[in-house]
Structure 1
Amino acid sequence: MLTDRSLTIRTLLGVFRWRVGLTWFLILSESAITVMIPLFIGFAIDGLLDGAFQPFLHLGLLMVGLVLIGVVRRIYDTRVYGTIRVEMGKALAARFSNLPISLLNARIGMGRELADFLEDMLPTAIAGVMQFVVSAILLYYFSPTLALSACIVLFGMISVYGVFHTTFWRWNRELNEQTEQQVRILEQRRARPLHVHLKRLRQFEMRLSDTEAILYGAIFVLLIGLVLFNLWFATQSLNVSPGAIFSIVSYSWEFAEAALTLPVSLQSWSRLSEITTRLEGRQPRNHLSRPP
């Protein structure tokens, strides 16, 4: 299926568009139900306080639907992305058959990361975008000020990540180059080169992890400020019911949870841009290489 094609995320989405499209439909359905739950919890709280049981029943049915869709999606996803990994491995083995086993082994492993991105990171990103949009809309429903605060924080997060993108790309390049040497070093069956190789892998992984930790810390400070501001504003400036206050705080926190997936998704995209350069047979030189 992938013979003589560019091995990129775009190609995989084109070749397997119907299978991946169904998973995306299930993801969107699951995400749509998930983001509605805090609102229905608020309705249930107000309903039970007023002696009405029907909103509570609606909440229960919504949660049952969420479980059913989630189970079906995960069963289906495993089969779809397993097929993509098989086809990617076959295509890479044929394309790089003249390379040393060390490089071929490493690149087949890197190729699987494209399928991993489609299965793990991309659904998270899709769900996160939906959470962003729906949370902002519902916060606007309660008060434009709440939605404005969320948008300001989102802009701040994207700006913070922009500062770190080049660093992520550089450390991923170094890590991938070292990984490609692993089988060759193992074939030497010598303790010293293996020790140096493993220490270098550890060094690059630590640098990636440290950069990610700093990024998370900066973003989390912004998100804490959002949740605390919206809680203060809802209780001090809005005349709403306890259920509505719960919904406001819940959607502020959902916005924060969705925001925390952003740096992971963007970091994965940075890594895949470097991997795609290798799988296309080009020498990676800088962070301006074309995206996966």
Structure 2
Amino acid sequence: MLRNRKLTIGTLLSVFRWRVGITWFLILSETALTVLIPLFIGFAIDGLLSGQFQPFVHLGALMVALTLIGVIRRIYDTRVYGTIRVELGKALAAHFSNLPISSLNARIGMGRELADFLEEILPSAISGIMQFVVSAILLFYFSPVLALSACGVLVGMICIYALFHSTFWQWNRALNEQMEHQVSILEQRRVRPVLVHLTKLRRFEVKLSDTEAYLYGVIFVLLIGLILFNLWFATQNLDATPGMIFSIVSYSWEFAEAALALPITFQSWSRLSEITVRLQRG
């Protein structure tokens, strides 16, 4: 299915579009129900305080539907992405059959990261984007100021990541280059080369981890500011009920949670960009 094709994320999405499309539909359905929960909790709080139980029943029904969709998606995902990994491995083994076994082994491992990205990182990114949009809309419903503060933080995060992208690329390239030599080094069965190899891997992994930590730190400061500002604004400038205040804080936190997935998505995309270039080489 993947023979004589460029091995990229776009190719995988094209070849397996219907299967992946179903998983995306389930992801969007699950995320849509998830982002409604804080709103329905707010309604339930205000309803119970006023003696109305119908909002409470609606909340329970929403949670049951969310559970069913989540279980179905996870059962289906495992089978779809398992098939993609098999087809990708076959194509990589054929495409790089002329390479030394060390490089072939490394590239098959790297190629599987494309499927890992589709199964693990991309769904989180899709959910995050939907959370961004829905959270911003609902915050706007409570007050335009709350939505503007969230959107301002999002723009700031994207600008911050742009400063880190080249660094992620550089250290991922060094790590992948070293991984391609692993099998040949192990075949020597000598302690010193293996120690040098493992030390280099550790150094590159530490550099990547440190860069990601700095990125997380800066972004988290922005998100803390967002949550504190929205909480202050809701209590001091809005005529909000307890349920409304809970919903505002919850959606501010949901926005923050979605934002925290961005560094992982961006870092993975930087790594996959380098891997994709490597997989196009003969």
Partner of 1:106: 106
**Deviations, residues 213-253 of structure 1 (Å, cap 9, x unaligned):** 00000000000000000000000000011100000000000
What does 1:1-292 align with in structure 2 at a 5 Å threshold? 1-281=1-281
Q: Distance in 2 between matches of 1:278 and 1:112?
A: 13
Q: Distance in 1 between matches of 2:243 and 2:67?
A: 24
Give the TM-score taking structure 2 as reference length. Answer: 1.00
Q: Distance in 2 between matches of 1:43 and 1:35?
A: 14
Q: Distance in 1 between matches of 2:74 and 2:122?
A: 14
- Deviation of 1:278 (Å): 0.7
Residue 179 of structure 1 aligns with an amino acid whose one-letter code is M
Q: Distance in 1 between matches of 2:173 and 2:75?
A: 34
Partner of 1:288: none
Q: Percent identity?
A: 78
1:239 alignment partner, SS class:
coil
Residue 67 of structure 1 aligns with an amino acid whose one-letter code is T
1:202 alignment partner, SS class:
helix
CA RMSD of aligned residues (A): 0.5
Give the TM-score taking structure 1 as reference length. Answer: 0.96
- Deviation of 1:56 (Å): 0.4
Number of residue-to-residue matches in the alignment = 282
Gaps spanning 5+ residues in structure 2: where? none
1:4 alignment partner, SS class:
coil
- Deviation of 1:5 (Å): 0.3
Q: Distance in 2 between matches of 1:132 and 1:155?
A: 12
Q: Distance in 2 between matches of 1:105 and 1:111?
A: 10
Q: Distance in 1 between matches of 2:97 and 2:195?
A: 28
1:98 alignment partner, SS class:
coil
2:46 alignment partner, SS class:
helix
Residue 70 of structure 1 aligns with an amino acid whose one-letter code is G
**Deviations, residues 59-80 of structure 1 (Å, cap 9, x unaligned):** 0010011111000000100000
Residue 202 of structure 1 aligns with an amino acid whose one-letter code is R
Q: Distance in 1 between matches of 2:213 and 2:219?
A: 10
